[in-house]
Structure 1
Amino acid sequence: MPRSLWRFAAFYFWYYAALGAYTPYVGRWVDALGHGGFVIGAMLGLWYGTRVLAPPTWAALTGRSARPGEWFVAGCVATTLCFAGFLFTREAWALLGVMAVFGLFYNAVMPQFEAMTLTALGPSPEQYGRLRVWGSVGFLLVASSYGALMDYVGAEAFPWLTLPLFVAMIISAWPHRHDRPPELPGPAVADAGHLFKRPGVRRFLLVAMLMQLGFGPFYVFYTLHLQAAGHSGAAIGALWAIGVTIEIAMFWQAPRLIARFGAARLLGVCLGVSVLRWALVSGFADLFWVMALAQTTHALSFATFHACCMRLITEYFPGRRAVAGQSLLYGFSSGVGGVLGAGLAALMWERGGGGVGAFAAGAVVAAIAWLVFALRQRDVTVGTT
């Protein structure tokens, strides 16, 4: 990889290293503060809600600026300052308020950075995977080690342990202060609305949303569910590491699998495997070897599923319409699906039997997604009008 691109790899590393602390362990911290499942679910629900609002708002601001790279650095600084607010908050209303502003900035900067990365790659977009993989490495190193670290120093230290990662993110953002995103002629909003009505599109987006909804218990309560089943922080970190490691490996192999079997066929397999995964996590959380086996299915239920969605979205939304397609997918899946998934997870955690009920609900949702996908006979021809 050219030396000039290492600064991009560095930012991916630290951005996702911070995410590797936040996603697996923020629920454990909020639980240690004495709050219940509804507060934890609301925290993650706000996280996903800001993923819908933040990117287009930030894009509108930076698009009018003659120095978008400086906006990017400013966004990273604002992210860190907002996260520092967690150092001084304990009450539920304060936690949710800090979460809302923190999520707005944290979820805003990455889409801008992705655009700057593609601009820097120019005619060599195939190099993207070699840069993005450093983000997964950062997530892996932190997620696998912070469980044991929090066992040692206490879960209440989570904000102090995580803040240095955001400071490192600012430092890695500084070399990009003069970078610019591409000036692309984006499609009109009407394109997205028109293409939304094409055969197969709505069903595909519904499946993607249901899959994300089924992941809700995993993102919100997986660490707490394993902790309640008697696993140590080190063991929980190891299980997170298994999932991310297999994710990295599968992202490299997914293009070959899609070329051989087709994205639609693989998507159905991923949905079926997800049903099995959440059923295992629901019923056998006390068995480490079963949880390790379940985590290996992350290769299909997350990595391959995501790769298949990317392939199908380019078929449903070809050419310059891809931006509209990505917007719809991001909004339905990460946005609506994420918020509903966090809400379902919190409800089942509090009223449906804790982790057992929450992950059983995840399995049911994944099964519904598979059924919706299987009943797509009229939608098999992609791109028809």
Structure 2
Amino acid sequence: MLSPSPFAWVSQYLFGFFFAYGVYLPFWALWFEDQGVSAADVGMLMGLGFATRCIANLLITPRIHKAESLLPALRWATLACTIFIAAHLAAGPSFMMLALVTVLFNLSFGPVVPLSDAMANYYANRGMLDYGRTRLWGSVAFIAGSSVVGYLASQFGANMIVYTAIAGFVFSMLLVMRHPATMPISQHEGDAVRPKLTLLLKDWSVIRFLVLIALIQGSHAAYYSFSSIYWKEAGHPESLIGYLWSLGVVSEVLLFAFSKKWFAGWSLRTLFVISSVGVMVRWGLTASTTAVGALVVIQLLHGVTFAIAHIAAIQYIQKSDANKMVALQALYNAIPLGAFIALMMAVSGWGYELWGAKVFWGMAAMGFFALFIKVEPKNRGVRDINENSQPEPQN
């Protein structure tokens, strides 16, 4: 289908992109380790990647505030991701070369998530798709990517991690080159006005939102960097580790699939409290045991610690002024999901070398502090099209 519906275009692109991300996020630390990189340096490299995403989302993403600029920007970013992910094969085992390609890749990778989410939000606000049902295909792809690469790495070696990621980005490149049936276009003159990030960062509602999300999503830093290494040291094979990561995303898929039905009428406060409690329980268990049964419970809680918080964050952004949505999406990905996770990855690398799995208790504490931050969005003064309009058929 050369001109798919908005739902088909966004969900299919997310499938390709998150397949590659399902390879990158769980297994890149293992690939670095296979190159001879120490645990502390793994933390530094992974943290450097997230820090670079932060810079990209502060300096590059907000410039793409017009709806009609979203598609060209996604195409260039996906092409650059494909090139620089492949460059890792020529970089190892030099730490400086690995750091260089990490920066280049994440400069390209960073804008993709907020821009693709901005595409989804654009169509969702016009009743053309449901965000949860669209985003779940990214989660399904993450499961596929982490499962496939876990098997391939255990059978054929760690370089299969890079080869599989390359395949995912090539597939994404083919998908992003198509035109959706309805192209994104700015509807009002004010939608094309570029908002100033400095003004948004003076808004206490925005600041509270960013701090709250930083605590909840930042608590995943040690998980992203060291859970695979931690579980492998406990004697679990790469294939099981891949299945565990996939199981976590299965719960995420269920939350996205039924979010509109399950959470209709729920306040943002309620969603964030549930997610914060999940953070305390999940990372407390992670610090305490590596038994397979417990790991299953831990991974099923991913839907609570990640998906519910993400759904609440997207609801906050969707209720903002149209010209601020990409800027807020950029800040969301730059600060809580970029800078703060980068900092916590570096800290967790140092902490993991000193204390091992006890570092996860620090992650659990972040959920406790998140309980005390209240966030409510400012109304746009326009009707929520998702609630008052019927979406077009999603097939």
Q: TM-score, normalised by structure 1?
A: 0.85
CA contact (8 A) 2:216 2:366 kept: yes
- Pick the structure with more helix per residue: 1
Q: Equivalent residues in 2 for 1:1-385 (5 A)?
A: 3-5=4-6, 6-55=8-57, 57-59=59-61, 69-89=71-91, 90-116=93-119, 123-176=126-179, 181-183=184-186, 184-186=191-193, 188-189=195-196, 191-194=199-202, 196-198=203-205, 201-285=206-290, 287-313=291-317, 317=320, 321-351=324-354, 353-354=355-356, 356-370=357-371, 372-373=372-373
Q: Which moved more, 1:238-247 or 1:118-127?
A: 118-127
**C-alpha distance in 2 between matches for 1:69 and 1:203:** 31
CA contact (8 A) 1:116 1:179 kept: no
Other structure's SS at 2:110 match: helix
Q: Which moved more, 1:128-137 or 1:338-347?
A: 128-137
Offset of residue 24 of structure 1: 0.4
CA contact (8 A) 1:273 1:297 kept: yes
Q: Which moved more, 1:270-279 or 1:66-75?
A: 66-75
Give CA-to-partner distance per residue, 1:286-337, whole Å, 9 cap, x none.
x00101011111121111122223334556x566554554444333311232
**C-alpha distance in 1 between matches for 2:344 and 2:70:** 34
**C-alpha distance in 2 between matches for 1:277 and 1:63:** 37
Q: TM-score, normalised by structure 2?
A: 0.83
Residue ranges of structure 1 left out of the alignment (5+ in a row): none
User: Which amino acid in structure 2 is aligned with residue 211 of structure 1?
Assistant: I
Q: Alpha carbon RMSD of aligned pairs, Å?
A: 3.2
CA contact (8 A) 1:119 1:180 kept: no
CA distance 1:73–1:362, shift in 2 (3 Å): same
**C-alpha distance in 2 between matches for 1:175 and 1:314:** 26
**C-alpha distance in 2 between matches for 1:208 and 1:70:** 29
CA contact (8 A) 2:57 2:333 kept: no
- % same residue: 23
**C-alpha distance in 2 between matches for 1:368 and 1:72:** 36
Give CA-to-partner distance per residue, 1:87-144, whole Å, 9 cap, x none.
1121111111100001111222343444455556783243444433222111111112
Q: Which moved more, 1:115-124 or 1:259-268?
A: 115-124
Q: Which moved more, 1:33-42 or 1:168-177?
A: 168-177
**C-alpha distance in 1 between matches for 2:318 and 2:123:** 22
Residue ranges of structure 2 left out of the alignment (5+ in a row): 380-395
CA contact (8 A) 1:22 1:162 kept: yes
CA distance 1:176–1:104, shift in 2 (3 Å): farther
Count residues in correspondence. Answer: 371
CA contact (8 A) 1:73 1:176 kept: no
Offset of residue 22 of structure 1: 0.3
CA contact (8 A) 1:192 1:328 kept: no
CA contact (8 A) 1:28 1:155 kept: yes
Name the structure, 1 or 2, with higher relative contact order (CA <8 Å, separation 6+): 2
**C-alpha distance in 2 between matches for 1:237 and 1:124:** 36
